Amino acid sequence: MDKSLNDKKAEIFKALSNPVRLDVIDLLLDGEKCVCEIQQALKKYEQPHISKSLAKLKSVGLIKDRKDGLNVYYSLNICCMGEFMTCLNKILK
Amino acid sequence: MDKSLNDKKAEIFKALSNPVRLDVIDLLLDGEKCVCEIQQALKKYEQPHISKSLAKLKSVGLIKDRKDGLNVYYSLNICCMGEFMTCLNKILK
DNA sequence: CTACTATATGCCATAATAGACATATACTAC
DNA sequence: GTAGTATATGTCTATTATGGCATATAGTAG
């Protein structure tokens, strides 16, 4: 059973349909960050919650990771994210 | 309780996180369509299902409607949709 | 080996969603 | 008024997501 294009796109949008994960995307729009930096910036969320959010975004290919010693660095994996977010921001005023 | 920007964006992405609703968006990217045309194009889905899909997309402001006699015409309400979809299509190959 | 730090995973209860089906509403024609 | 067509809404159940908490893993230092 091969997934249709829109099934795959739906999974991407589902990964984006959560405010915590959008907070993460906002941070990564600013450039690569290690998990520790993301946690520092989003102190209001628990560590496992952030870790799961990163895993979900990665599972659909929106972000990628890179290990360096104990740290894991995440960055955006899709170029057009910034433009679309800017557009949405304008619409939502 | 005012919703944060990312709460609102999450709702928009949630509306997009479904293959049926993405099929509808695809059709509307081609221009305004009446519900009957959308139903004709998406015969595999039941009429109430399509109607609810349109309602959900409208509720978050992604599409708008216009009545003309018995018919209701829907069209996209956000400009950057096409670009982002094109980008996702490329990534998903 | 132990201890420590950074990050990920598992489990669980609650809440939200999808989609099938029945039904309702709105408009037109007569 | 009735009948018919186009579209919307309500109700239900199975599935899926959320987020809290406990725990596990991976890497480093000693």
Please, what are the domains in chain A?
5-92 (1.10.10.10)
* Mean pLDDT calculated for residue range B1-6: 75
What integer pLDDT is reported at residue B93 of this predicted model?
A: 82
Single out the residue of B85, B38, B54 nearest to residue A13, CA to CA. Answer: B85
Cross-strand bridge partners of residue A71: A68
Residue type, B30: D
- CA torsion sign for A50, A53, A57, A59 is positive
| pLDDT above 60: residue A1 | no
Chain B residues with CB under 8 Å of A5 CB are 89, 92
Q: How confident is the model at residue B57, as a pLDDT?
A: 98
Q: What is the mean pLDDT of chain B?
A: 95
Q: Is B29 on the interface with A (CB under 8 A)?
A: no
Q: Is the pLDDT of residue A93 over 90?
A: no
pLDDT tens digits along A31-90: 999 999 999 999 999 999 999 999 999 999 999 999 999 999 999 999 999 999 999 999
**Mean pLDDT (whole number) for A1-11:** 85
Q: CA-CA distances (angstroms) from residue A44 to A62, B26, B52?
A: 23, 38, 35
Residue A49 CA and nucleotide C12 C1' are separated, in Å, by 15
Q: Looking at the predicted structure, is the pLDDT value of residue B69 above 90? A: yes
Q: Which residues of A52-85 are buried (b: 16+ CB within 10 A; e: fewer)?
A: ebbebbeebebbebeeeeeeebbebbbebbeebb
Q: Is the pLDDT assigned to residue B29 strictly greater than 60? A: yes
Instruction: Return the pLDDT at B1.
Output: 38
> A22 vs B10: CB contact, 8 Å cut-off?
yes
Confidence of residue A2 (pLDDT cuts 50, 70, 90): low
- What tens digit of pLDDT does each residue of B31-64 get? 999 999 999 999 999 999 999 999 999 999 999 9
Q: From CA A4, how far away is CA A8, in angstroms rounded?
A: 7
The alpha carbon of residue B71 is apart from the nearest alpha carbon of chain A, in Å, by 27
User: What is residue A62's predicted lDDT score, i.e. its pLDDT?
Assistant: 97
Question: Which pLDDT value is given to residue B3?
Answer: 72
